[in-house]
């Protein structure tokens, strides 16, 4: 270790951008952290500090690193380690607007009220672009498509492994230049940490290869979308409790109520899981994303998909539900937090899961999702239960940030709007 080694202490903000401060690694303190400013939460995806916001020029925070999250960034000579942090008040207590602390609160609710925990895994889709901004690679699921992504792919996989991230699949996806990386399931907080770290490693490696990896929902309205699929399973006392072979679609009563809670709040949740002004374009029938609010058996257009069990797998361990209406413009901690709160509401009220779609969407009725962010925000505003899941300052800041983004893209046509987001993600 040399004196030139940096520690980059970071938080992932409301627009899922990772921001922080660097200092000499030798001076990093796991108790003092580094200074931070509340108003930093009000920076939107285009780098503008939105005013007014609840904080203005007042207040001080500390970014307190979680030393267990430290990873080497794939920079020349291994000169930097990045640490995820909690945002705290000067007295050391958690700041109510910290996304990571917000997820911790949701997980405590699930544990305290229902004796449950979750295992989760995020699937990430992204588009690899060359120096001219064109997709790099063709050939969905082919060896040629895989080769088109090299040597970036090999470097990225090596960097993920060096960071302790257990990636499971790396594949050329359906769209031009599109790739997907899946990771192993982990406990709730660690799963969100891994989602943040995975994106930053992939982006960094792409830059080091003179390329760009964009996780934006769409790089063009007619393009194949990039989603973030979240796999969830419920656990109690160290054992999985999602599966019941006699239950509807193989789901236990607990999993059915938890799923019903997500369906109950599906429209309102999109403000947190698909929050950009192009996100809703992807959430439409026949785009293999989330056509509407329903549970589907093996159906990739369901909001919640129940997938097949791999041959030879333990059904109890393998069974999970997949939430398909998230993308990388959403903060992973807040995505999991809103899912956990919705599941808790379903469990609180013992909500029944009335049906599971087993056929094609053209053959069955279902509730469509909001067609734009304004509709999602309106649904959240109408949802009295969901409104209390987050602090009022966090909600107000999120709304201000999205209003600011709308002012930045409102005059653009839809392709230019997609491109604007693609350049920021």
64-98 pLDDT, tens digit per residue, is 999 999 999 988 776 899 999 999 999 999 999 99
| Residue 48 belongs to some domain of the structure | yes
Domain total in the chain: 2
Domain of residue 72, residue span: 6-95
Nearest to 230 by CA among 313, 141, 305: 305
Residue where one domain finishes, among candidates 95, 113, 139:
95
| Residue 148 belongs to some domain of the structure | yes
Q: Are residue 46 and residue 121 in the same domain, yes or no?
A: no
| Residue 120 belongs to some domain of the structure | yes
Q: Residue 162: what pLDDT?
A: 96
Over residues 412-423, mean pLDDT: 97
Q: Are residue 154 and residue 38 in the same domain, yes or no?
A: no
Q: Residue 1: what pLDDT?
A: 45
Q: Are residue 220 and residue 333 in the same domain, yes or no?
A: yes
| Residue 229 belongs to some domain of the structure | yes
Q: Are residue 74 and residue 139 in the same domain, yes or no?
A: no
Q: Where are the beta strands (DSSP E) in 193-330?
A: 212-214, 228-236, 239-240, 292-297, 302-306, 321-326
Residue 318 contacts by C-beta under 8 Å, 6 or more apart in sequence? Answer: 309, 310
Residue where one domain finishes, among candidates 37, 60, 95:
95
Residue with tokens 């909500």: 351
Q: Residue 3: what pLDDT?
A: 59
Q: Quote the CA–CA distance of 219 and 238 in Å, as a whole number.
A: 42
Q: Are residue 51 and residue 113 in the same domain, yes or no?
A: no
Q: Quote the CA–CA distance of 109 and 314 in Å, as a whole number.
A: 28
CB 4 within 8 A of CB 19: no
Q: What percent of the chain has pLDDT over 90?
A: 92
Query: Residue 26 gets which letter from DSSP?
Result: G
The pLDDT tens digits for 97-147 are 999 999 999 999 999 999 999 999 999 999 999 999 899 888 899 999 999
Does the global pTM surpass 0.75?
A: yes
| Residue 369 belongs to some domain of the structure | yes
| Residue 1 belongs to some domain of the structure | no
Q: Are residue 42 and residue 120 in the same domain, yes or no?
A: no
Mean predicted lDDT score pLDDT of the chain = 95
Structure tokens at 290: 């989330």
DSSP letters, 203-229, are: HHHHHHTT-EEE--S-SSTTSPP--EE
Return the CATH number at 52.
3.10.20.70
Q: Are residue 236 and residue 305 in the same domain, yes or no?
A: yes
Q: Are residue 74 and residue 207 in the same domain, yes or no?
A: no
Q: Quote the CA–CA distance of 36 and 416 in Å, as a whole number.
A: 34
Q: Are residue 91 and residue 108 in the same domain, yes or no?
A: no
Cis bond before residue 52 (omega within 30° of 0): yes
| Residue 27 belongs to some domain of the structure | yes
Over residues 345-367, mean pLDDT: 93
| Residue 414 belongs to some domain of the structure | yes
Residue 285 contacts by C-beta under 8 Å, 6 or more apart in sequence? Answer: 291, 292, 301, 361, 362
Q: Are residue 341 and residue 380 in the same domain, yes or no?
A: yes
DSSP letters, 62-73, are: EEEE-GGG-EE-
Q: Residue 98: what pLDDT?
A: 98
Residue where one domain finishes, among candidates 54, 71, 95:
95
Q: Are residue 155 and residue 76 in the same domain, yes or no?
A: no
Q: Are residue 222 and residue 339 in the same domain, yes or no?
A: yes
Query: Residue 133 gets which letter from DSSP?
Result: S
Return the CATH number at 207.
3.30.590.10
């Amino acid at each position: 270790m040399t004196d030139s080694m940096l520690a980059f202490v970071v938080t992932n903000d409301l627009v899922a951008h990772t921001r922080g401060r660097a200092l000499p690694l030798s001076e990093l303190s796991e108790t003092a952290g580094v200074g931070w400013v509340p108003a930093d939460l009000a920076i939107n995806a285009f780098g503008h500090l939105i005013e007014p916001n609840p904080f203005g020029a007042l207040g001080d925070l500390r970014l307190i690193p979680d030393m267990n999250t430290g990873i080497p960034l794939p920079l020349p000579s291994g000169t930097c380690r990045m640490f995820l942090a909690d945002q705290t008040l000067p007295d050391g207590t958690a700041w109510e607007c910290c996304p990571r602390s917000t997820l911790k609160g949701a997980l405590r609710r699930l544990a305290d009220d229902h004796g449950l925990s979750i295992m989760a895994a995020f699937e990430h889709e992204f588009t690899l672009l060359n120096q001219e901004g064109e997709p790099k690679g063709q050939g969905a699921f082919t060896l040629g498509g895989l080769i088109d992504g090299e040597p970036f792919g090999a470097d990225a996989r090596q960097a993920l492994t060096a960071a302790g991230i257990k990636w499971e699949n790396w594949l050329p996806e359906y769209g031009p230049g599109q790739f997907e990386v899946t990771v192993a399931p982990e406990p709730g907080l660690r799963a969100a940490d891994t989602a943040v770290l995975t994106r930053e490693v992939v982006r960094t490696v792409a830059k080091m290869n003179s390329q760009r990896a964009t996780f934006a929902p769409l790089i063009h309205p007619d393009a194949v979308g990039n989603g973030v699929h979240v796999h969830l399973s419920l656990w109690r006392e160290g054992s999985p409790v999602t599966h019941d072979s006699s239950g509807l679609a193989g789901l236990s009563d607990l999993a059915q109520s938890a799923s019903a809670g997500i369906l109950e709040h599906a429209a309102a949740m999109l403000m947190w899981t698909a929050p950009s002004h192009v996100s809703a374009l992807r959430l439409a029938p026949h785009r293999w994303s989330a056509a509407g609010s329903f549970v589907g058996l093996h159906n990739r257009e369901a909001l919640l998909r129940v997938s097949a069990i791999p041959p030879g797998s333990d059904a109890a361990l393998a069974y999970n539900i997949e939430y398909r209406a998230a993308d990388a413009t959403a903060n992973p901690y807040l995505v999991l937090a809103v899912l956990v709160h919705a599941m808790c509401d379903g469990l609180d009220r013992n909500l029944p899961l009335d049906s599971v779609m087993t056929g094609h969407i053209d053959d069955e009725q279902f509730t469509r999702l909001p067609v734009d962010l304004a509709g999602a925000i309106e649904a959240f505003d109408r949802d009295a239960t969901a409104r209390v899941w987050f602090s009022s300052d966090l909600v107000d800041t999120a709304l201000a940030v999205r209003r600011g983004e709308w002012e930045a893209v409102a005059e653009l046509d839809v392709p230019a709007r997609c491109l604007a987001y693609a350049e920021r993600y």
